[in-house]
Amino acid sequence: MLWTIVRREITANILSFRFLMGLLIYFSLIVTNLFVLTRGYEDRLQSYQTAIRENEDEIKQVQRYSEFGLTRTLKGNRKPKLLSIFNEGVDKRKGNTVTIAHGYVPAVAEQHGSDNPYLNIFASIDFTVIFQVVMSLLALLFSYDAISREKEAGTLGLALSCAVSRPTLLLGKYIAGMASISFPLIASFVAGLLVIQFSPYVSFSSSDWGRILLILLLSMLYVSLFFLIGLFLSAQTHRPSITLMFSMCVWVLFVLVVPNLTVLLVEHASPIQSEKPYKEQASEQWKQYGAEVKDYFEKRGVENPLDRASLSGSGASSGINDYDSGETVSASGFRSDEGVPFAQECYDFKENLRAQYADRIWQIRKAYLDENPNRQSLLALNISRISPTAVYYNAAAILAETDLGSFWRFMEQARQYRREWVEYLRDEKIFSSRRWFTTEFEEPFDLSKIPRFKEQSESISGSLQRASLDIMILTVLNILFFMGAFISFLRYDVV
């Protein structure tokens, strides 16, 4: 009996005008958008490859190790995520290249590639956004009159006068509705994947396929929720036009108002404090560092490490910028190597100390980040979970590795890379090498062994674990609204 109902409903849906039009518009939307998004991804991929190449070129041009301190710093580049086509998250906004030096612990990322921050005034739309806006509306439009219209037309009483139980009828309507919606949903996924596959730059790995499948399932869960909300509302009233208004109200609130409102409220109710005191603390530390270095030099009876060397030219450029400091020195025209070992000792002390101070200053900066922007973002994220739309977006971002958490992971890895780099500098005794400040006195100079940055992506199970809260919320809401619809329908007056 269930299948008869399912079949009847599906046929009615598919033959209806709204289904056809919905499908058509939705399809063209997805395909054009994915085309545009794929192009955007290609651009970002190219600029990533350029950035990698430029980093290698920079390394090749290094003559003295101290250049790594300021003028030719190493870079850690983040590969654009393929699934950012499905969900952009913060992938584009948060920057993708970090500077690595022993005097600087990476805390923010910059943007490589074609860079126009003014474009930030346009919100961007990805697959997930189209989905959360269009599919939720379609789901509501499919279900708002499922019960009240049949009642209005009088067919509900007829159907129930046969040997059909109410649960069967409701379940039949749910299954059929979901099946009819799943059709455009899956079709659009497949069409989208085809569009993406046409790009010569894209190749999916098996983990990508797994993630895509998970995003598809998640999307079904989201659509099902809105379908059930519509069904629930439909069982509350006896006139489809009233159900419609209620459904639209829910839609406007959940999809348009709440996600924007929560962030706005958090931004105003829980503002971030000025960074100034933290910067002052940091500059205090750098002053202390300067004093300590000066002290050391005074004790050794010089003003500058190279004072005892007899040389004809030297230059230095140094900079302190809030939390970072660095120095590149060059010396040439040594008349003898007298004083050189002394300079080596001095630089060894100075640069080791700089790395230590940078670590200490990172703790100050970390405190600022944790207590201010990061705390605010997490708060906004948590409060926005009032709306299932935000829950869905967040879970999809986690699965696409484009959420804030993934970005923080990348930053953590960049810091890990810096630690490796500092260890390398220490282990290879680079701070205390002559090559730190001069190209004279031939010494082997092999830069191929320098550690390079490699980003480790998160395992699927790791992502799933992080997304589990959001997935659970969606599931629980699904169950709640199903039960709600079920109970209301049991008590529904059919004639």
Partner 1 sequence: MIWHIAKREILDNLTRFRFVLTLSLVMVLMVMNAVIFVSSQYPRRITEYSQDTNNAVESLKKRSSNLGELAVKGPGYLYKPPSPLTFIATGEDANLPKRAEGASTGNFGIGKNTPDYRFGYSWSENWQLQYPQDTFRKNDSLPNFTELDWVFIIGLVMSFMAILFTYDAISGERETGTLSLLMANSVSRATVLLGKFIGAFLSMIAPLVIGILLNLLIVSTSDLVSLDGSEWGRVAIIIVISSIYISIFLWFGLFISSQFSDSSSSLLILLLIWIVFVVLIPNTMGVLASGFQQVPTKNEISRIKKTTEDEIDQRHKEGDRLYRTGSPSDQPPKVEVLRLWADYLNERANAKSRMYDEHLNKQLAQVAFTQQITRLSPASIYKYSVESLAGTGFARHKRFVQQARRYRKQFVDFIQSEDRGDKESSHIYLVKEGLSQKPVPFNSIPKFSDKLTLGITFKGAVLDMTLLVLLALLLFMAASLAFMRSDVK
- Maximum pairwise Cα distance, the chain: 109
Among residues 11, 61, 114, 363, which is the contact residue for partner 1, using CB under 8 A? Answer: 114
Q: What angle do CA 407, 410, 411 make, to 5 degrees?
A: 90
Q: Closer CB to partner 1, residue 118 or residue 493?
A: 118
Q: Do 191 and 27 touch, CB atoms closer than 8 A?
A: yes
Q: Closer CB to partner 1, residue 16 or residue 459?
A: 16
According to DSSP, residue 321 is labeled E
Smallest gap from Cβ 316 to partner 1, in A, equals 12
Q: Do 55 and 75 touch, CB atoms closer than 8 A?
A: yes
- Judged by CB under 8 A, which stretch of 4-12, 319-327, 373-381, 451-459 contacts partner 1? 373-381
Among residues 91, 145, 348, 351, which is the contact residue for partner 1, using CB under 8 A? Answer: 145
Helices assigned H by DSSP within 235-339 = 240-251, 258-269, 276-299
Among residues 63, 165, 241, 363, which is the contact residue for partner 1, using CB under 8 A? Answer: 241
Which residues in 360-432 belong to E strands, given as ranges? none
The residues near 486 (Cβ < 8 Å, ≥ 6 apart) are 167, 170
Smallest gap from Cβ 107 to partner 1, in A, equals 12
Among residues 15, 122, 299, 444, which is the contact residue for partner 1, using CB under 8 A? Answer: 122
Smallest gap from Cβ 262 to partner 1, in A, equals 8
Q: Do 102 and 358 touch, CB atoms closer than 8 A?
A: yes
Smallest gap from Cβ 163 to partner 1, in A, equals 30
The residues near 68 (Cβ < 8 Å, ≥ 6 apart) are 62, 74, 101, 102
Retrieve residue 46's tokens. 């190219």
Q: Closer CB to partner 1, residue 275 or residue 345?
A: 275
Spatial distance between the Cα atoms of 220 and 231, rounded to a whole number of angstroms: 16
Q: Binding residues for partner 1, how many (CB under 8 A)? A: 81
Q: Closer CB to partner 1, residue 388 or residue 435?
A: 388
Smallest gap from Cβ 7 to partner 1, in A, equals 22
434 near partner 1, judged by CB under 8 A: no
187 near partner 1, judged by CB under 8 A: no
Retrieve residue 278's tokens. 């933290």
Rule CB under 8 A: which of 62-81 touch partner 1? none
- Judged by CB under 8 A, which stretch of 299-307, 377-385, 425-433, 484-492 contacts partner 1? 377-385
- Judged by CB under 8 A, which stretch of 122-130, 319-327, 421-429, 455-463 contacts partner 1? 122-130
**Residue among 185, 160, 178, 156 nearest 230 (CA):** 178
Rule CB under 8 A: which of 204-223 touch partner 1? none
Spatial distance between the Cα atoms of 126 and 439, rounded to a whole number of angstroms: 52
Spatial distance between the Cα atoms of 82 and 402, rounded to a whole number of angstroms: 10
Q: Closer CB to partner 1, residue 343 or residue 404?
A: 404
Smallest gap from Cβ 116 to partner 1, in A, equals 5
**Residue 469 identity (one-letter amino acid):** L
Smallest gap from Cβ 428 to partner 1, in A, equals 28
Which residues in 322-360 belong to E strands, given as ranges? 324-332
Query: How large is the angle between the packed helices 166-198 and 136-143, nearest 10 degrees?
Result: 150
The residues near 44 (Cβ < 8 Å, ≥ 6 apart) are 80, 84, 92, 96, 113
The residues near 138 (Cβ < 8 Å, ≥ 6 apart) are 22, 26, 181, 184, 223
377 near partner 1, judged by CB under 8 A: yes
175 near partner 1, judged by CB under 8 A: no
Among residues 65, 131, 407, 453, which is the contact residue for partner 1, using CB under 8 A? Answer: 407
- Judged by CB under 8 A, which stretch of 194-202, 226-234, 270-278, 428-436 contacts partner 1? 270-278
Spatial distance between the Cα atoms of 419 and 153, rounded to a whole number of angstroms: 72
DSSP states along 127-142: HHHHIIIIIHHHHHHH
Among residues 207, 376, 457, 475, which is the contact residue for partner 1, using CB under 8 A? Answer: 376
Q: Closer CB to partner 1, residue 116 or residue 336?
A: 116
Smallest gap from Cβ 128 to partner 1, in A, equals 12
Rule CB under 8 A: which of 273-332 touch partner 1? 275, 312-313
Bridge partners of 314? 331
117 near partner 1, judged by CB under 8 A: yes
- Judged by CB under 8 A, which stretch of 6-14, 124-132, 320-328, 347-355 contacts partner 1? 124-132
Among residues 1, 3, 11, 119, which is the contact residue for partner 1, using CB under 8 A? Answer: 119
Bridge partners of 189? none
According to DSSP, residue 107 is labeled -
Rule CB under 8 A: which of 9-68 touch partner 1? 17-18, 21-22, 25-26, 29, 33, 36-37, 39-40, 43, 47, 50-51, 54
According to DSSP, residue 256 is labeled I
According to DSSP, residue 145 is labeled T
Q: Closer CB to partner 1, residue 2 or residue 90?
A: 90
Q: Closer CB to partner 1, residue 242 or residue 302?
A: 242
Rule CB under 8 A: which of 246-265 touch partner 1? 246, 248-249, 252, 256-257, 259-261, 263-265
94 near partner 1, judged by CB under 8 A: yes
Retrieve residue 223's tokens. 């659509």
